[in-house]
Structure 1
Amino acid sequence: MTQTARNQWVWSLSCDWIKRNQNVLITGKSGTGKTWLGCCLGMQAIRNGISVSYRMVSRILEEFELAHLEGTTPRLRAYYKRADLLILDDFGVSKLKATGKHDLLELLDDRIGDRASHRAFWAVLATKNDLTPLHINVGAGDQRCRF
C-alpha cells in the first residue's frame, strides 16, 4: 500500500469526510470488497457516534413500491433521512424503472438538500459499475444524476 493510499484510508476511518459534508463512491469489479469497505466505513462511523443505515438499493426500491401502495411514502423518506450516514449498496447494478429513478433521486435530493442544516446527511454508494453506466442507469434523456 502506498503512503497516499494509507493516508486516504486513515482519513476515511477518521470520518472527517462526513464532517466535511463529502460523499463516498466506491466502485470496482465483483468480489473486490466494495460492500465490505462500505460496511467498515459504516462501523467506524457508528464508533464515532454517527447514526448509520445500510441498505441494498434493490431493497429500498421494494420498500418504496410498497409505500406507494400503502400511501406511506413520506414516512419512508423521513425514515431514511434520519440516519446521519446512508450506505447504499449495489447502486446502479441494474436499470431502474421510472418510479425507482424518481424515488431514489428524491431520497438523495432530500439528504443533499439538508446540507445547510446543523445535521449532516451523507451517503456511501457502492457499485460494480464505473460512472458512465451509473449515469446511464439513473439518468433519463439529457438529465443525469451526478455526485
Structure 2
Amino acid sequence: MIYRIDARIVAPVRDTEVTDRVEDAVRSLFPNVEFEHRPGELVGETHSLERFSERLHEQEILETARTEFFKRADDEGFSFALKKQAAFKGVINFAVGNPDELGDIHVHVTVNEPDVESYIDHVAPPTEDGRPVDPDERA
C-alpha cells in the first residue's frame, strides 16, 4: 500500500534554548523533517513517520499512540503533542494536560492516501496482549 502524508511539526524555542538542540530533538523522532526557522519556534515538514512508528514499536506504546491519534482525528488527518524534554532523549512521550515549561512539540498529520484510519493502523497497529496485530489477520 502507498501512504502519502504531510506532517507539520511545530516546536517552540525558548530564549534559554539552543535552536540546534531543539532541531536535533525533533529529528531524533522525525529524521526527514525540513525546518523553517521562525522567531520563537521551528516549523518543520516531513512526509514520513516511519522512524516515529519504529520508536512506538520499540517503546511498546502502540495503544497509547492510537488513543492519542484517534482523540484528535477527522477525515483529513490527526494531531498530537509530544513532550520536548523526552524528545531530547529520543523518547516519545505524549503531552497530555498542562504544557511543559519548555513547551510541547505539536504535530499535525494530513493523510492524502489512503485514509486516516488505515494510516493510523500502519503507524501504530492495533495490539492484542501487547503485540501488534495485522488487521487483515483478525477474523
Q: Tell whether the structures are fold-level matches, with TM greater than 0.5.
A: no
Higher percent of residues as strand: 2
Higher percent of residues as helix: 1
TM normalised by structure 2 equals: 0.31
